[in-house]
């Protein structure tokens, strides 16, 4: 007999496996291209003004410095492998990587709108909520200047969506999607590993609780499905590096020089990470509102937001954080994942207000909270003027 814990009410994710929006592949790709076009034009504007995309340019330089050989000593300089492989294989240098990131925006925004549509969110609300992410300068900045970080955000977005469907609806397919998403994100940034670990813990705790051997094995399998790809990526890469270079961590430190240094202040650096994350949260009022609405409907589900925030704090503390602009975008994307199904008029008004405030904060608070984005934006449109 099933335990009471097996009846988890999470109808918000029930349709993701059966339906797509728009229904036809042609319409979906048309929408993706349309959504990506403004960002491609933004890349063209930056190119016409000779505005170098620093992170992408650095990625291209690192990829060009790799010298393939019969041995595997190059693995000490080849993390993260997916962005470096793209930088090595895609012709055109940093400009091409910027275009690739701009094209990915269309896929990410269409997928975000699809999730909201399948959750019975009214079309005007879908448009406003999607715009609350798409219209903020931090999103423009990350998508067009830092392919490695933006790819991490895309994979994490897919993984977190699959994780919710997996834990609440027992969708095996979504579990594999979550695990693969976390694994791919980890091969783009070490920051994704903490999200995979937290996701595995959630899968272990949320699945039906029972002392029966079969149920215990099922919970362990659920956690393994989510965690294994990411753990295999980190441990496998570390072993490969040790085997051929004698070091477990050289490539990780090269990618994230602050890894586990804690700023030479163990607890002081934790306080710094908490302060930075709190400042980033100020740019995502929609996450706060979505969490409150989720808390009212399904209190335990609201822990998803707390776990994501906790992961960003841990990443910053360990020295592998994605950076404030990317963290703001990640938190904003998570807020859309957490929007409850079929919101009432009162809930929609709260969501609209938070979305508009988020866009206003995205512009008005740049100089105080996101100076790198402010500097980039002023040079971009200042040069255009």
Full DSSP string of 68-129: --SSSGGGGG--SHHHHHHHHHSTTHHHHHHHHHHHHHHHHHHHHHHHHHTTT--HHHHHHH
- pLDDT for position 266: 80
- pLDDT for position 288: 94
What span, in angstroms and rounded, lies between the C-alpha atoms of 160 and 177?
A: 9
- pLDDT for position 16: 46
Q: Which residues have a Cβ under 8 Å from the Cβ of 62 and sit 6 or more positions away?
A: 77, 84, 87
Q: What is the mean pLDDT of each run of 10 residues along the chain (385 residues)?
A: 39 52 90 96 82 81 80 78 93 92 95 89 94 95 95 93 79 88 95 92 69 72 90 91 82 84 81 93 94 85 84 93 93 90 92 96 87 88 62
- pLDDT for position 383: 57
Closest CA to 357 of 274, 266, 259, 286: 286
């Amino acid at each position: 007999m099933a335990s009471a814990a097996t009846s988890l009410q999470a109808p918000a994710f029930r349709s993701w496996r059966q339906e797509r929006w728009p229904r036809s592949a042609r319409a979906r790709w048309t929408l993706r291209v349309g959504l990506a076009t403004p960002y491609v034009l933004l890349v063209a504007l930056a190119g016409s003004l000779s505005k170098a995309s620093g992170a992408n340019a650095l990625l291209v330089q690192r990829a060009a410095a790799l010298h393939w050989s019969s041995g595997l000593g190059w693995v000490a300089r080849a993390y993260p492998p997916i962005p470096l492989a793209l930088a090595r294989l895609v012709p055109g240098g940093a400009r091409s990587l910027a275009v690739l990131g701009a094209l990915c925006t269309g896929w990410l925004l269409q997928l975000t709108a699809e999730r909201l549509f399948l959750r019975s969110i009214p079309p005007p609300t879908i448009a406003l909520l999607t715009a609350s992410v798409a219209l903020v300068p931090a999103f423009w900045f990350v998508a067009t200047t830092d392919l490695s970080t933006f790819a991490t955000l895309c994979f994490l977005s897919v993984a977190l969506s699959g994780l919710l469907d997996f834990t609440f609806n027992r969708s095996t397919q979504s579990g594999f999607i979550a695990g693969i998403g976390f694994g791919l994100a980890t091969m783009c940034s070490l920051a994704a590993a903490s999200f995979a670990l937290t996701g595995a813990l959630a899968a272990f705790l949320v699945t039906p609780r029972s002392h029966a051997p079969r149920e215990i094995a099922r919970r362990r399998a659920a956690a393994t499905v989510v965690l294994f790809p990411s753990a295999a990526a980190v441990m496998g890469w570390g072993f490969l590096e040790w085997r051929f270079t004698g070091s477990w961590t050289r490539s990780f430190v090269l990618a994230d020089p602050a890894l586990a240094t804690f700023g030479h202040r163990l607890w002081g650096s934790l306080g710094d990470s908490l302060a930075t994350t709190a400042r980033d949260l100020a740019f995502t009022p929609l996450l706060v509102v979505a969490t409150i609405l989720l808390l009212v409907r399904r209190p335990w589900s609201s822990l998803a937001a707390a776990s994501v925030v906790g992961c960003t704090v841990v990443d910053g503390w360990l020295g592998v954080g994605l950076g404030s602009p990317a963290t703001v975008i990640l938190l904003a994307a998570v807020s859309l994942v957490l929007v409850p199904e079929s919101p009432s008029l009162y809930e929609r008004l709260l969501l609209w207000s938070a979305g508009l405030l988020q866009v206003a904060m995205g512009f008005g608070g740049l100089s105080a909270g996101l100076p790198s984005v402010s500097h980039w934006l002023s040079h971009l449109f200042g040069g255009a003027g």
